[in-house]
Amino acid sequence: MPAIRTTRLPAGIDVPVLGQGTWYMGEDRRRAADEVAALRLGLDLGMSLIDTAEMYASGGAEEVVRDAIAGRRDEAFLVSKVLPSNASRQRTIAACEASLRRLGTDHIDLYLLHWRGGVPLAETVEAFEALQADGKIGHWGVSNFDLDDMQELARVSGSSAVQTNQVLYNLESRGIEFDLLPASQQENIPVMAYSPIGQGAFAGDDRLAGIARRHDVSTTQVALAWVLRHKGVIAIPKAVKPEHVRANRVAVDLVLTEVDLAEIDAAFPPPRRKVPLEMI
């Protein structure tokens, strides 16, 4: 199997376009072994980017990631996120240190502001820069930022400092295609798509069935390949069952045809006007 293709962050770091999400992991210790095994299988298959957050299971997902990367930290590119309620200068630093303890590591490769809150962006950026200077994070970015938020952030920090914007993007949530995605591509800031397969919403979807049959794949794989068709888009689906991890890995190599894409556009129309950024 070929290596997963990569995209380059503004800092010059290449990361795989297919990573692994951990939302809802860590909520039930009875499932922890399966969750750890899934993440380790993903690492085996080259899905080295693992996304988590202090919010997920109140830190429980970070503990699952800790167990998954035990003895393999150098194979993983870790992404975690700070809650907006913790985004002041001192609280950001404290939140990051708590995440580091749960993750069992001395640094997070990419640290994101989970969404905008009441703290001025300049203060959060100052905290991120302090964490970078101390070696506790490699780089920083944001999540759930619309275009106007990104423009404001660029005035605070300079656009080259922001490594990614993690947003909701899938077949039924295409709003970013109107302005946010093109602007991000122009600035060479990768978009990280969460819930790229809609939390299983496209499994068996009749609108994708014909395309799936043509390629001898599942409808979910079609949906994931569609998200990954753009340059500069990273997808972070969550999977716990081994067969789903493997299916996600296969999807990254699926190339959809112009006919496929036209059928998808007819079934899931692209945005024709600006819509508010969707979040879940």
Mean pLDDT score of the chain = 96
Residue 233 lies in a domain: yes
Structural domain count of the chain: 1
Q: What are phi and psi of 216, to 5 degrees?
A: 55, 50
pTM as predicted = 0.96
The string of pLDDT tens digits covering residues 155-208 is 998 657 999 999 999 999 999 999 999 999 999 999 999 999 987 789 989 999
- pLDDT value at position 158? 67
Residue 232: is its pLDDT beyond 70?
yes
- 153 located within any domain: yes
State the Cα–Cα distance between residues 40 and 42, nearest whole angstrom.
5
Cα(192)–Cα(51) distance, integer angstroms: 10
248 domain residue, yes or no = no
Kindly state whether residue 35 falls inside one of the protein's structural domains.
Answer: yes
Domain that holds residue 189: 15-201+228-242
217 occurs within a structural domain? no
Give residue 1's pLDDT band: very low, low, confident or very high (50, 70, 90). confident
Cα–Cα dist 41/244, whole Å: 11
The pLDDT tens digits for 120-131 are 999 999 999 999
Residue 277 lies in a domain: no
CATH number of the domain enclosing 184? 3.20.20.100
Cβ burial, residue 278 (10 Å; 0-12/13-18/19+): middle
Task: Give domain status of residue 8, yes or no.
Answer: no
Start-to-end C-alpha separation, the chain: 34
Residue 278 domain-assigned (yes or no): no
Whether the per-residue pLDDT at 98 is higher than 80: the answer is yes
DSSP alpha helix (H) spans, the chain = 32-44, 60-68, 89-103, 121-133, 147-157, 180-186, 206-215, 219-227, 242-251, 258-267
Position 207: which residue type? R
